[in-house]
Amino acid sequence: MDIDILKNISIAKPQISSPHDKRAVKDVQAPHRDEEAAKVAEKVKQETLSVKTVRMNYDTDIDRVVITVIDSQNQEVVRQVPGTDSITFMKRFQQIIQETSNKKV
């Protein structure tokens, strides 16, 4: 192989025309970061999709729909709307209204 041929080869610098292209160049320089980020994103996605169950129940005492998000693995309530304190308040408020309306003046 003739080494003189290699002397004539030039490497062009990448042309960057937008901020998006700059990010692409950085990604080429550090591909391991993208791989790690993709692995973490996939793990979070799988945990999020497989762990949560959403239940909707109608509570006749408060005349509202109660939405509950439950962790499927341990059956713990992750989130509830309206919250437990709000439901307790609404039930007590309904009782007070009924008691007040039943009293004779």
Task: Give the integer Cα–Cα distance in Å for 79 and 62.
Answer: 19
Residue 65 inside a domain? The answer is: yes
Residue 89 inside a domain? The answer is: yes
Task: Give the integer Cα–Cα distance in Å for 32 and 20.
Answer: 19
Residue 78 inside a domain? The answer is: yes
23-78 per-position pLDDT tens digit:
544 544 455 677 888 888 887 777 666 668 899 999 998 999 999 999 888 889 98
pLDDT for 57 equals 94
pLDDT for 4 equals 55
**Mean pLDDT for the stretch of residues 3-20:** 53
According to DSSP, the residues that pair with 65 across neighbouring strands are 58
pLDDT for 103 equals 72
Domain span including residue 74? 21-102
pLDDT for 27 equals 47
Residue 4 inside a domain? The answer is: no
pLDDT for residue 15 is more than 50:
yes
Q: Which pLDDT band holds residue 1 (cuts at 50, 70, 90)?
A: very low
Task: Give the integer Cα–Cα distance in Å for 5 and 69.
Answer: 68
Residue 53 inside a domain? The answer is: yes
pLDDT for 35 equals 82
The torsion angle over the Cα atoms of residues 81, 86, 91 and 95, rounded to 10 degrees, is -150
Residue 2 inside a domain? The answer is: no
- Name the token pair of 24: 């692409």
Predicted model pTM: 0.48
19 prior amide bond cis, ω within 30: no
Residue 62 inside a domain? The answer is: yes
Residue 93 inside a domain? The answer is: yes
Domains of the chain: total: 1
